[in-house]
Amino acid sequence: MVAEEKKRRENILPKWYVDLRDIPDNVLDFTDRPEKLGILSSTDVEITHLDSVAVVESIRKKKYGCVDVIEAFSKHAVIAHKYVLS
């Protein structure tokens, strides 16, 4: 297992690897966890709370760039992935 984890970490671009602490066993609601970890910027949080129509509109109006949106959701996904597999 340790070797697999090391290989996985080596294959992830450093930009996308975040070392997250484990969530205590008594925490059952993870919905606010990404915001509380301090990994997401305020812009990332804004973007990831938008519905799909609002995301498209924000890109169309140039409030957010496509890269901003992809990175925000990718960070959110990395966090979710970590805690689902823990």
Confidence (pTM):
0.70
Structure tokens at 74: 């990718």
What is the per-residue pLDDT for 36? Answer: 79
Give the other-Cβ count within 10 Å of 18's Cβ: 13
Q: Residues, the chain, total?
A: 86
Q: When comparing pLDDT for 80 and 64, which is higher?
A: 64
Cβ burial 49-75 (10 Å sphere, 16+ → b, else e): ebeeeebeebeeeeebeeebbebbeeb
Model confidence pLDDT, tens digit, residues 13-61: 666 666 666 666 676 777 777 787 778 899 999 999 999 999 999 999 9
Domain ranges in the chain are: 30-86
* Sign of the Cα pseudo-torsion (4, 9, 10, 13, in order): positive
